[in-house]
Structure 1
Amino acid sequence: MSGVRWAYALNQWDTNIDAFVRTREHERAFKTISISGFSGVEFTAVSFGAWEPFGSPAEIANLYGSLEGLRSFLAECALDAVSSYVYDPFVGFDVEMGRGPDPLDPDAVERIATTAVWFADAVHRLGGDALVVRPVGSAWQTGALSDEQIGTLARLWDEVGRRIAAHDVRLALHVDFLSALRLAEGIDRLLAATDPALVGLALDTAEFAIAGIDPVAFFRSHADRVRHIQLKNARHVVDEAEALTPHAEQFVRTEGGARRIERWFFEPTDEGGLIDFEAFAQAVADADYAGWIVVESDQSPHPAESAMVSGWYVQNVLRPIVEGSARLVEEKK
């Protein structure tokens, strides 16, 4: 049997500060994800108070009473688990909508680890097993990382990985297309500096492709470190010069940069884009990957439609590749 479980990211529903705050909206989203063929949902850790109902412990308690209450609600919507939480340390949880600690600050370990442990405990109690983290800031902020900075990051994430392992949760570093790790072989240097038993990688197909990294080739060469997969499509590449634009998060990612790109991310399909999803699915099968694959459609103007389109493609194209290869392996045994 394949060890792959399929989930869908909730982020595309939550695009406006007051558009996704009531339980009836949550029920519609969860049921849409379920009927589209997914068994889990991925949450984002954000500190916007009542406007981000799944982003902090307090708001989950306010709406659902407890994590157990939320899991019961998910089960009523025919979902098995929250597969994962996505946590960006730069988001502050001490003060609502505040600024969080910088992973490059050696004194930030305790604050980051404490927050990570809460979300890891939440993921475990909600049936999932992955904490996906943004390991460092953007390229324009730091330039290429020095060996000393890589060492600082390695010590931080080894410690976080060690602490959340006590909750049976795996740490997965998420490299976005503006990340400082895209420069000077930063991904490989950080992976080499961290303990493979404690620190893995979240491979986001679109983020890698936009950064000019072939996700299929990267997965094949780093399958032993991939702990989590996020699956989405992309149509445009951002080179290093564009990634180094001052305030690239706003100017490039949000506003589309000088090219005025309206949308960076798309549903996984075989109808164009930068990623060969069938080849990626085959690579996943060949590596005998076990873990969650989370489909995303960030920026989708029609969340329910995107979930159903993605679900059809997963069920009819990608899942048979992964599970078909898994059956062949079992038969050979």
Structure 2
Amino acid sequence: MTGVRWGYALNQWDTNIDAFVRKRDHERAFKTISISGFSGVELTAVSFGPWEPFGSPHEIANLYGSLDGLRSFLSECALDAVSSYVYDPFVGFDVEMGRGPDPLDPGAVEQITGTALWFAEAVHRLGGDTLVVRPVGSAWQTGELSDDQVGTLARLWNEVGRRIAEHDVRLALHVDFLSALRLGDGIDRLLAATAPEFVGLALDTAELAVAGIDPVEFFRSHADRVRHIQLKNARELVDDAEALTPHAEQFVRTEGGARRIERWFFEPTDEGGLIDFEAFARAVADSDYSGWIVVESDQSPRPAESAMVSGWYVQKVLEPIIARSRHALGAPR
């Protein structure tokens, strides 16, 4: 695949268990995404059984008959593909709502690889090409990673990347704002330890911004490893001390921490946001990036409105910046 394709994440519709389980709800969401100008949709791996009909290939088959059945349904809604799946190894699929293996456990390679292959095959059959993974747990759980821990992660993700490449799916490591990789130079150390041909990055503009990392500068310095982009905005920063709060996933991310932050993420058009998206688009245009850019607004109280506003912004502002710059350079758009 050459050039940039634009997708939208389904997570802002699927905000609660049992809230998004009917086909008519899916049809509304998919058609809204399509008429907003996007050609693909990103799904998230979840183990809540039939209450999360897109949470696994098994649940998709239960509701749509097969993966091919879902792809036909997407086509009827004028969408080309499921661009990508987001998979967190800590989510267990052996038991509904179960706990998965820890990537820092050297004995977890086979189990994590098997589940990754399950989702990679699904992505490929649904017309996409990327498996986005959470490569390690949160900072409060590990502190700054040791060399041995980085080595363990590198061996795991090199193996996963090599195996899913057999399905023409690429691996992209997603660094969230609570990730252990935010500490020190964790991201660069892991990238240096992994094989570029098998392990890339999923650059999430808002997650990096909340962690105090400028996504524009980060992209420019790591463009050769970026395999997937997720666009969303943010207003607040979380420093290392706050990220190290015990049980930060619940206390900080879900409950808003001591500051009681009600919403971490916003549409790219948000006027109070930290990110210069036009500068980011210019950075993409100046690079050789080829792949999906998935827009998110995963805490939006009005998902259809957020999709349409984001679609307008992509078509009228971001896409023209990339197209004009790449046309001037003679590069694929």
TM-score above 0.5 = yes
- Counterpart position of 1:39: 39
Q: Does 1:88 align with 2:76?
A: no
Question: Conserved in 1, the CA contact under 8 Å of 2:233 and 2:270?
Answer: no
Q: Is the 8 A contact 1:270 1:277 kept in 2?
A: no
Distance 2:103 2:270 in 1: 37
1:273-292 alignment to 2 at 5 Å? 273-292=273-292
- Could you say which residue in structure 1 is the equivalent of 2:122? 122
Structure 1's consecutive aligned runs of 4 or more residues displaced over 4 angstroms after TM superposition are none
What is the aligned partner in structure 2 of residue 153 from structure 1?
153
User: 2:318 aligns to what?
Assistant: 318
Corresponding residue for residue 142 of structure 2: 142
Alpha-carbon distance, 1:322 to partner: 0.8
- State yes or no: 1:177 paired with 2:177: yes
Aligned to 1:27: 27
CA distance in 2, matches of 1:107, 1:264: 35
Alignment of 1:62-77 (within 5 A): 62-77=62-77
SS of match in other structure, 2:330 = helix
Unaligned runs of 5+ in 1: none
Aligned to 2:187: 187
Q: Distance in 1 between matches of 2:218 and 2:43?
A: 25
Q: Compute the displacement of 1:59 (Å).
A: 1.1
Determine the C-alpha separation between the residues in 1 that align with 2:311 and 2:31: 13
Aligned residues: percent identity?
A: 86
Does the 8 Å contact 1:256/1:262 carry over to 2? yes
Structure 2 match to 1:234: 234
* TM-score (norm. length: structure 1): 0.98
SS of the residue corresponding to residue 266 of structure 2 reads coil
- Deviation track 1:125-178 (CA, whole Å, cap 9, x = no partner) reads 111000000000000000000000000000000000000000000000000000
Counterpart check, 1:222 vs 2:222: yes
Is the deviation greater in 208-217 or in 58-67? Answer: 58-67
Aligned to 1:112: 112
Distance in 1 (alpha carbons) for counterparts of 2:191 and 2:166: 21
Give 3-state SS (helix, strand or coil) of 1:245's partner: coil
Answer whether contact 2:130 2:172 (CA < 8 A) is retained.
yes
Q: So what's the TM-score if we normalise by structure 2?
A: 0.98
Amino acid at match of 2:163: R
2-side partners of 1:122 and 1:195: how far apart?
Answer: 24
Asked if the contact 2:2/2:291 (under 8 Å) is kept, the reply is no
Counterpart of 2:97 in structure 1 is 97
Shift of residue 272, structure 1, vs aligned partner = 3.0
Q: CA offsets per residue over residues 180-203 of structure 1, 9 Å max, x none?
A: 000021000000000000000000
Change in 2 beyond 3 A, CA 1:271/1:208? same
Matched residue SS, 1:8: strand
1:16 Cα deviation from its structure 2 partner: 1.4
2:260 alignment counterpart: 260
1:331 to partner: Cα distance: 8.3
